[in-house]
Structure 1
Amino acid sequence: MSDSADGDMEIYDLKVTVDRIEGRSVCGMAVGDHFELTNSAHLRLPEGKHFCVYALASVLPFLAAKQRDLAEGDWLAQDSHFICPDPEERLVMKVERTCRRTMNSADLT
C-alpha cells in the first residue's frame, strides 16, 4: 500500500472516540477512549486499552462511507455521532477524519 501521490484513489483515516456516556459504563470504557482506522482497514487501539465489541459493531457499518468523499448534503457527511445499542450505557461515539491518504486500489480487495 502506498500513501504517495501516484495512487488511483483517496481515502480518509478515521478516529472513533467515546464522546460521552449518558448512562453507566457497563463495558468499562471512558470518555476519550478511541480507536483509529488507517490504511483503509487497519484498526489500531492504544496499548493497554480496549474498545467494546458492541459499540464497535454499531459504528462499523458507517466507517467505509466516512472514509470516502460523500455528496454534498448527504446526511452521513453531516453526522458524526453514533450510539452504542446498550440502553443502560447510552455511549456516544464521534467519528472524525484525521488525514486524507492516496492509495492504490489494486493493493486492496
Structure 2
Amino acid sequence: MDDSFTLYDLKVEVIGSERPMVCSHKEGDYFLVIGENLVFPQTHSFSMYSLAALLPLLPAKQRPLDGNDWMLSDSVIACPDPNCGAKFKITRIGKRTFRHGECTVEKIAVRE
C-alpha cells in the first residue's frame, strides 16, 4: 500500500505595514517550515509571542487545501501585540513527499 503524503515547505517572513513595529521584528526576517521542523537563519531572532500565534496555522498551511478554503487565501497574519505594526506573510515555497511509516509507528486508519 502506498503510504506517501505531500506537505508544502513554508516561508514565514516579517513584512511591514503603515504602523511602526514595536517588538523585536525586522522587516525581511524569516523562518522556514520543512516537514515538522522550524528552520531559523543563524543571524536572526524571532519573537516567541509571534511564534506562539503563528504555530497553530502552520500545519494547515502545509497541507493541500480546497480552492475555496480561507486558509489558502489568507496568508498575512498580524503580530499578536496590538501596538505593533508587524505582519507575517506565510508563503508556500516547495513541496515534499513523506511516508506515513517514516513519521509514526501508528498504523494507517482504515478508510471508509
- Identity, in percent, stands at 39
**Higher alpha-carbon Rg:** 2
Q: Secondary structure at the match of 2:16?
A: strand
Is contact 1:81-1:92 (8 Å) kept?
Answer: yes
Number of residue pairs matched? 103
Query: Structure 1 length normalisation: TM-score?
Result: 0.85
Distance 1:74 1:11 in 2: 17
Distance 1:47 1:7 in 2: 35
Q: CA RMSD in A?
A: 1.6
2:103 aligned to which of 89, 102, 108:
108
Unaligned runs of 5+ in 1: 1-5
1:16 aligned to which of 9, 12, 19:
12
Query: Structure 2 length normalisation: TM-score?
Result: 0.83
Corresponding residue for 1:3?
none
1:35 is aligned to 2:31: yes
AA partner of residue 62 (structure 2): Q
**How far off is 1:96 after superposition?**
0.4
Deviations 1:27-53 (A, max 9, x none): 322110100011x21111111211111
Corresponding residue for 1:49?
44
**How far off is 1:106 after superposition?**
1.7
Unaligned runs of 5+ in 2: 105-112
Corresponding residue for 1:74?
69
